[in-house]
A and B are shown apart, each in its own frame.
Chain A
Amino acid sequence: MNKDEQLARLLRLKRHEKPGEDYFEGFLQDFHAYQRKALATQSAASLWWERVGTGLSALKRPSTAWAAVGAYAAVMMLIYVWPAPHHGGNTTLVISPNPPQASNPSNPSNPSITPAPMPGASQPWQTSIPAGQTINVSETPSLKPPAAGKRRTPDQPLELPGVIGPAVPPTSPPTSTPVQE
Chain B
Amino acid sequence: MADAALTDKQEDRVLVERAQEGDCPAFDTLVVKYSQRLYALIYHMTSHREDTHDLLQEVFARAFRNLKSFRGQSGFYTWIYTIAVNLTLNFLKKRNRRRMFSLDDVDNGIQHDGEYLELTATSDPVREAGLNELQRHLNEALQKLSDDHRAVVTLFDIQGMPHAEISKILSVSEGTVRSRLHYAHKQLQAHLSNYLT
Contact = CB atoms under 8 A, between A and B. Distances in A.
Contacts of B138: 10-11, 13-14
A180 interface: no
B57 A34 contact: yes
Interface stretch (B4-12, B91-99, B108-116): B108-116
A24 B123 CA distance: 29
B135 A18 contact: no
Interface residues of A, number: 36
A7 B192 contact: yes
B196 A16 contact: no
A58 interface: yes
Interface in A51-101: 51, 54-55, 57-63
Contact of A27 (B35, B153, B196): B35
A144 to B, nearest CB: 55
Contact of B158 (A4, A11, A24, A62): A11
B105 to A, nearest CB: 15
Contact of A16 (B115, B134, B159, B197): B115
Contact of B83 (A4, A24, A54, A60): A54
A30 interface: yes
6 contacts: A7-B185, A14-B158, A16-B116, A31-B31, A54-B62, A54-B69
Interface of A: 3-4, 6-19, 24, 27-28, 30-31, 34-35, 38, 47, 50-51, 54-55, 57-63
